[in-house]
Structure 1
Amino acid sequence: MRTRRIAILIDGGYFLKRLPKLVDAGFCTTPEQIADSARFLCKKHVLRLTGMDSQAETDGRWLDQVYRLFYYDAQPYTGKTHHPIENRPIDFDKSDTAQFRRDLFAQLRRKRKFALRLGHVAQDGGWQIKSRHTKDLLKARKWANTLDALVGDPQNAPAISEADQRELTNLLDRWKALSPEAAYFGLRQKGVDMRIGLDISSIALKKHADTLILVTGDSDFVPAAKLARRESMEFIVDPLWQKVSDDLYEHVDGIISVYPRPANG
């Protein structure tokens, strides 16, 4: 059996998005389940590459073939703001999402050979309305002059036809029924992709591993993949059955997903 040194790099945000499409809820609901699913993914890749037997899967010998297992994500956003629709304060640091991420990171730290690489989340544009609601917002501009006249000089305001009244009433009803979920606070991960690229380069240049598996669907890592292959590394991408660009196909040694293929996407 060929002895390998395998490094597996998981784009955490991508993994969390795709995992519910690949496994039952019982494997992706709690932080413990998600951490176990990440480890299972890594194990399946190592067993496929090495051809190790089921006993190696059971007793953990598959990890002897591993240089390191990297998980990339961002520390939760800790700022405070005020919801524009619900008119209530929001402390992101105390949110369920933030606590879930922290619990997940704690679980991953307990896994043998896992290493966390964490960027940060920064504010990106403040409160925004989801795109499907912007059409109603733009329609409201049509009535700006009419509403201005009704407020400033109601005696001389222009008459509104029955059809216009119905349209305006319908528009107002939709705005009154606007749910809190229609607005979202713009946030963006920073430093995650950079950490992935730096680790790929470091592993390749320092010869820490001979095989690298990147779990992502992002073609932005093509330059790093090209560098790794120039350094004689085998570079494999697992997009978790998501379609990837032709550019990514061209510059890696294989597109391989080890979870069962989902029935619908």
Structure 2
Amino acid sequence: MSGARIAILIDGGFFLKRLPHLVAANRCDSPLKIAACIRHLCRNHIKMLTGHQGERWQQHLYRIYYYDAVPYDGKAHHPIDNRPIDYSKTPVAQERHALFDLLRKERKLALRLGKVARDHDWTLSPRLTKRALKSRVAVRALDGLTVAPGGADLPTTLTLTPEQVRQLVELRDFWTQEVHGGAVSLGLKQKGVDMRIGLDISTLTFKDQVDTIVLVAGDSDFVPAAKLARREGVEFILDPLWQQVNADLFEHIDGLQSGLKKPGAAAEAVAELAPPLPAAPDAADH
């Protein structure tokens, strides 16, 4: 494949989530190092597909496409910590913008940015939500408390069973110890990224710009675009960064390989994630 034209498409949100599991912490703790990891991943893919190991590996590369979303820049008030938050000034937003600035300067790299929008208000984590709903049983112990007409307080002496006392203590501990600032999150949702990936796969395919597409992603949303590319004769490689993928995805791709070494692997050389797939069925069948 010496004259191959290869496009590498990277789902940035997925890549940044998986990267700390694949490289040492001191190799991905800054935007500069993350950009270096992206180059390393792409170079390894070119090397595996072409056998080219020299410094001119980019001659086989059509382009790298990096997809992410511009961080949310709105403001909100934290319901538990009782403090204002300016999301544009958070470390996550600042580091993401710094990474984008570095990637814009990379050779043969196109940055494709969606956006993050506020989809709903603050929510409690699913695990804690279940426990909060179950706490209704403990609250029934307070049924004996009443308020007199006009708001005058009545005596608050309650007779509780040992089980009711235990439930109320657990309820107190739950709300004072487990429901902290990190237990809630603002309903932010990434928009436009998957659409951009699908459009670029379609464009690369129909304009006959590449022979091979490598997609670094972790879900199956790409399947319709992958099927389209394969029907038109484009080789489609998936890199899930060693994350387990569903077996039925194999019929929609031409290969599975990783540009970063397997977690815990002793060898420094990048290995393929799975043995070569059998010959793909006729593209017209997909």
Q: TM-score, normalised by structure 1?
A: 0.92
8 A Cα contact 1:7 1:69, kept in partner:
yes
Which sections of structure 1, spanning at least 5 residues, go unmatched?
A: none
1:231 aligns with 2:226: no
Whole-angstrom CA distance in 2 between matches of 1:68 and 1:131: 40
8 A Cα contact 2:8 2:216, kept in partner:
yes
Deviations 1:85-112 (A, max 9, x none): 1000011111111001100101111111
More helix by share: 1
Whole-angstrom CA distance in 1 between matches of 2:211 and 2:133: 55
Match of 2:281 in 1: none
Whole-angstrom CA distance in 1 between matches of 2:70 and 2:77: 21
- Aligned alpha-carbon RMSD (Å): 1.8
Deviation at 1:158, TM superposition (A): 6.3
Deviations 1:205-241 (A, max 9, x none): 0001111000011111111001001111010001111
Match of 1:210 in 2: 211
- Map 1:137-148; keep pairs closer than 5 Å: 137-147=132-142
Describe the SS at the equivalent of 2:66: strand
1:222 aligns with 2:217: no
Match of 2:201 in 1: 200
Match of 2:61 in 1: 66
Distance 1:81 1:151, change over 3 A: farther
8 A Cα contact 1:219 1:247, kept in partner:
no
- Map 1:30-179; keep pairs closer than 5 Å: 30-53=30-53, 56-57=54-55, 61-147=56-142, 149-152=144-147, 154-155=154-155, 159-177=159-177, 178-179=179-180
1:190 aligns with 2:191: yes
Whole-angstrom CA distance in 1 between matches of 2:157 and 2:192: 55
Whole-angstrom CA distance in 2 between matches of 1:123 and 1:113: 33
Deviation at 1:151, TM superposition (A): 4.8
Whole-angstrom CA distance in 2 between matches of 1:42 and 1:243: 21
Deviation at 1:140, TM superposition (A): 2.6
Q: Which moved more, 1:152-161 or 1:212-221?
A: 152-161
Whole-angstrom CA distance in 1 between matches of 2:131 and 2:217: 36
Whole-angstrom CA distance in 2 between matches of 1:226 and 1:207: 16
Deviation at 1:139, TM superposition (A): 2.7
| Partner AA of 2:93 in structure 1 | A
Deviations 1:181-202 (A, max 9, x none): 1111111100000000000000
Deviation at 1:125, TM superposition (A): 2.0
Deviation at 1:166, TM superposition (A): 2.3
Identity among equivalent positions (%) equals: 53
| Partner AA of 1:235 in structure 2 | F
Whole-angstrom CA distance in 1 between matches of 2:156 and 2:33: 66
8 A Cα contact 1:222 1:247, kept in partner:
no
| Partner AA of 1:5 in structure 2 | R
Whole-angstrom CA distance in 1 between matches of 2:233 and 2:4: 13
8 A Cα contact 2:138 2:167, kept in partner:
no
- 4+ runs deviating over 2 angstroms: 142-149, 151-159
Describe the SS at the equivalent of 2:222: helix
Q: Which moved more, 1:177-186 or 1:193-202?
A: 177-186
Which sections of structure 2, spanning at least 5 residues, go unmatched?
A: 149-153, 266-286
Deviation at 1:146, TM superposition (A): 4.3
Whole-angstrom CA distance in 1 between matches of 2:176 and 2:238: 47
Whole-angstrom CA distance in 2 between matches of 1:208 and 1:190: 27
1:7 aligns with 2:7: yes
Whole-angstrom CA distance in 2 between matches of 1:50 and 1:206: 22
The size of the alignment, in residue pairs, is 259
Whole-angstrom CA distance in 2 between matches of 1:108 and 1:148: 61
Q: Which moved more, 1:164-173 or 1:114-123?
A: 164-173
Whole-angstrom CA distance in 2 between matches of 1:241 and 1:183: 30
Match of 1:181 in 2: 182
